[in-house]
Amino acid sequence: MTHEHLVMSFECSYTPPPPGDEAMAENPFKMQHMHWLRQHPYSCRENLFLSQETNALRDELLAYKKAGGGTIVENTTTGIDRDLPALRQLAKDTGVHVIAGAGYYIDCTHTEATKKMSVEKLTNSIVNEVLHGADGTDIRCGVIGEIGTGWPITESEKKVLRSTAHAQAQLGCPVIIHPGRDPAAPAEVVRILQENGGDISKTVMSHLDRTIFDEGELLEFANMGSYLEYDLFGTEMLNYPFNLKVDMPSDSQRVKTLAFLVKEGYEDKIVIAHDIHTKNRLTKFGGHGYSHILKNIVPKMLTRGITQHQVDKILIDNPKCWLTFK
């Protein structure tokens, strides 16, 4: 899985509940709220603290391993409460390989100190997180990202993108991007990375499921050469609060898009994940957990024109290729 979170908080994205449901914001986590939480995951404060569930995460990872999972890329970066010692402990306890992310999340999580840093300083801090260890630990990150960007991309986010490209040019490492919620956002990020020496062939563009819907636009973007990530498998949301114009696809629609990209020749560039970042998606709370793709999506892919060989590329070869330092 190339895009997951095990320990993080998403407080920065708290969204008030719709009118009439205000009480739900502070309501305790109860069985009868599970459907409501699936529809409004960012409107209950407690739901945003995956960091409180480290014990449950141990069971989640053991279940993932039992289902055939070996490795998880943990995309939590500075700004959303990255906790590297907790990740190391989870990896040790379960035997699942966890690859941690370096760098910074979106603008509203940048501190004043981060905003004042030069591109050179930001580059050094990212390089340091990969070569020597992050957050005062000796735990080294294995990817840069998810690097957070919004739409339009802010000045501070542009500086982080330039630094990401410079760091990648030095290290030959994988990069993963969180684009803004506009069909033009992924291409704009790629242009900034390219102009600054980034290697697009070793860059994953996340969250395409909620970003590019038109097939022509998708192929145009695919042609730019990044990995194409569909990473919101398992999410079910009628009114996507971060952009009400977006119709969040179902898992069946995601699989259909994967089959389309495979048919168009992009089987070497597709990666997939769940991007679990709220509590309600854990099996402890009736959610789909980290094994949903392995257990439910792969069989579906095989009935929709995607071969086992292509599934293996998407789940094994492409991530392996992306994650290997040049």
Ligand X SMILES: CCC(=O)NCCS(=O)(=O)O
**210 part of the interface to ligand X, by CB under 6 A:** yes
Nearer to ligand X, 49 or 302 (CB): 49
Least Å distance, CB 214 to ligand X, is: 18
Asked whether residue 110 is marked as a ligand-binding residue, the answer is no
Nearer to ligand X, 11 or 317 (CB): 11
Peptide bond into 146 cis (omega under 30): yes
Establish if 242 lies at the interface with ligand X (CB under 6 A). yes
Cα 306–210–114 angle (5° rounding)? 120
97 is in an annotated binding site: no
> Which residue's CB atom is positioned nearest to ligand X?
277
Would you give the DSSP letter of residue 13?
Answer: G
Report whether 166 belongs to an annotated binding site. no
Place of tokens 């569909």: 230
Q: What is the 3-state secondary structure (H, E, C) of 291-309?
A: CHHHHHHHHHHHCCCCCHH
207 annotated ligand binder: yes
Count of residues touching ligand X (by CB under 6 A): 10
Q: How far is the CB of 275 from ligand X (least distance, A)?
A: 5
Triad 315, 148, 156: Cα angle to 5°: 155
Q: State the DSSP code for 4.
A: B
Nearer to ligand X, 48 or 91 (CB): 48
If one asks whether residue 178 binds ligand X (CB under 6 A), the answer comes out as yes
Which residues touch 240 (CB under 8 Å, ≥6 apart)?
210, 246, 247, 248
Amino acid type, 318: N
- Which secondary-structure segment (H or E) carries 99? strand 97-102
Q: Which is nearer to ligand X, 81 or 267 (CB)?
A: 81
> Residue 168: which region, alpha, beta or left (left: phi > 0; alpha: psi -120 to 50)?
alpha
Question: Looking at beta carbons only, is 159 or 178 nearer to ligand X?
Answer: 178
* Nearest distance, CB of residue 120 and ligand X, angstroms: 27
Q: Is 146 annotated as a binding residue?
A: yes
Tell me how far, at minimum, the Cβ of 40 lies from ligand X, in Å.
13
Say how many C-beta atoms besides its own lie within 10 A of residue 217's C-beta: 15
Longest dimension (CA), the chain: 54
30 by Cβ neighbours in 10 Å (0-12 / 13-18 / 19+) ranks as: exposed
Interface with ligand X, residue 80, by CB under 6 A: yes
Closer CB to ligand X, 208 or 306, in the complex: 208
- Name which position in 158, 207, 279, 313 contacts ligand X (CB under 6 A): 207
Which of residues 33 and 207 has its CB atom nearest to ligand X in the complex?
207
CB of 3 to ligand X, least distance (A): 8
Q: Please state the closest distance from residue 308 (CB atom) to ligand X, in A.
A: 29
Q: Is 159 in the site for ligand X (CB under 6 A)?
A: no
Q: Is 182 exposed, middle or buried (0-12, 13-18, 19+ CB in 10 A)?
A: middle
Distance in angstroms (rounded) separating the CA atoms of residues 103 and 53: 24
Q: How far apart are the first and last CA of the chain?
A: 21
From the CB of 221, what's the least distance to ligand X, in Å?
16
Contacting residue, 4, 74, 129, 275, with ligand X by CB under 6 A: 275
The encoded tokens of residue 21 equal 């449901």
Is residue 273 within the footprint of ligand X (CB under 6 A)?
no
Residue 40 binds ligand X (CB under 6 A): no
| Residue 309, annotated as binding a ligand | no
Residues near ligand X, by CB under 6 A:
5, 10, 80, 178, 207, 210, 232, 242, 275, 277
Binding residues for a divalent metal cation: 3, 5, 146, 178, 207, 275
